[in-house]
Amino acid sequence: MDAAVSLSGLLSEEGRRNPYEFYARLHEIGEAIPLGPADRYAAIVCGYEAVDQVLCDPGFRVPDAEYRDSSETWWRDHPVVRTLLTAFPNVNGADHARVRRLFGRAFTARRLAGLEPYIIQSTNRWLDRLAELGADGRPVDFMAGFAVALPVDVIGELLGVPEPDRAWFPSRVADFDAVLELGQRPLREVKAANTAAEELSAYFTGLLASRRADPGDDLISDLVRLNDPGLLSESELLHSLIIMFNAGFRATSKFFGNGLALLIEHPDATAALRADPSLAPAYVEEILRYEPPLHFAVRYAAQDTEIAGVPIAAGRSVLVLAGAANRDPRRFPEPDTFDPTRTDNRHLTFSAGPHFCLGAALGRLEGRLALPRLVSRFPVLTLATEPGERRTLMLRGFEELPVHLSSRETATIS
């Protein structure tokens, strides 16, 4: 590989802070770039075509228990990894399809449509709260006050997690998710993730038991009923539920923070959205393309294969950079320009192929409903301080985003 570009470039402080310069150099080299035999990955896949192809090809598998076992078995001692590897997002082939089908059946378009009034109500509630906290020009943290609060409420409502329990989750789930980051994680993070996995497991075991005893009209009750014939083992159901809950708010929270920072940076675009809320879907797509919450996925080759001319031996894994694909100049004109009027914006932020995000429609719906309400409710939105740096490539976003806002009395979109 080009001496000027190695994986350590991406993993460095600078690379994590601004991966886009690294991606631009990758695009000059090619669609896929081989790494050395000692590297963890056989190649980096960065071009749009190649990323799409790997994600859609069932011959490239998500790293599952079998893959982990081929190089190490220590992971079985870690509750967080056991939870991850028995949940359907980290399973392949027929087993993945079997569990995903059940979750997909419970997660219908009708259920989503039924959730819309709740999303609007919750959006307005959290906007009111922001207005209250930011009254008299006080700075308010948009992340805690809205970007996390709304998606937790929405996934909690969908699954049937009681409202008083919801504030308990964000810090635990953040601990759990820390192990998903690219590169080695420090032991203290792994320990915190294990504790979080055990706590989440205890919580959802209790919730499953209570819905079995007393079903409601929430998704967990549906899952329990649909699973009556025993299609899923208890650990498949429990662990998939935990991951579904986590996935259901973490990326969406980061999306809102990244989105607001972009809107503040682009006041003309924000004014256009304020004037015409029907533009919201295009804004959501461009925020997702330009600042994706998830920059990468990993896949391993089931057999000897090649990608964009780079040979990949059976059992070797590749680093698939959707964040780079979204900035591929061969696919997107002026890829480094934030342009919500962009057409043909089929980014890869929700992945592609068998593991395409199961909650994409919900994530999009939350964005489409909340963003126009946010900018309409607050005609003035500015940063209170420089936002902290984004340093992760998985769940990339702000921890805090202090803003000043000036408020209208009530939301103008009901």
Q: Which residues bind ligand HEM (CB under 6 A)?
A: 55, 62, 88-89, 100, 155, 244, 247-248, 251-252, 255, 293-294, 297, 349-351, 355, 357-359, 362-363
Instruction: Give the orientation angle of helix 169-177 with respect to helix 187-213, to 10 degrees.
Output: 130
Rounded to a whole number of angstroms, the minimum distance from the CB of residue 6 to ligand HEM is 23
Rounded to a whole number of angstroms, the minimum distance from the CB of residue 379 to ligand HEM is 26
Residue nearest to ligand HEM (CB): 359
Rounded to a whole number of angstroms, the minimum distance from the CB of residue 137 to ligand HEM is 31
| Contact between 32 and 324 (Cβ < 8 Å) | no
**Residue 133 or 298: which CB sits closer to ligand HEM?**
298
Rounded to a whole number of angstroms, the minimum distance from the CB of residue 284 to ligand HEM is 9
**Residue 103 or 134: which CB sits closer to ligand HEM?**
103
Q: Do the strands 402-406 and 380-383 form a parallel or antiparallel pair, or are they unpaired?
A: antiparallel
**Residue 314 or 361: which CB sits closer to ligand HEM?**
361
| Contact between 297 and 322 (Cβ < 8 Å) | yes
CA distance 63 to 318: 10
What does 279-299 look like in DSSP terms, one character per residue? GHHHHHHHHHHHS-SB-EEEE
Rounded to a whole number of angstroms, the minimum distance from the CB of residue 80 to ligand HEM is 17
Identify the H or E element spanning 317: strand 317-321
Instruction: Give the orientation angle of helix 79-86 with respect to helix 187-213, to 10 degrees.
Output: 50
- Give the per-residue SS3 of 219-243: HHHHHHHHCCCCCCCHHHHHHHHHH
CA distance 162 to 144: 19
**Residue 134 or 328: which CB sits closer to ligand HEM?**
328
Rounded to a whole number of angstroms, the minimum distance from the CB of residue 382 to ligand HEM is 24
**Residue 300 or 378: which CB sits closer to ligand HEM?**
300
**Residue 255 or 300: which CB sits closer to ligand HEM?**
255
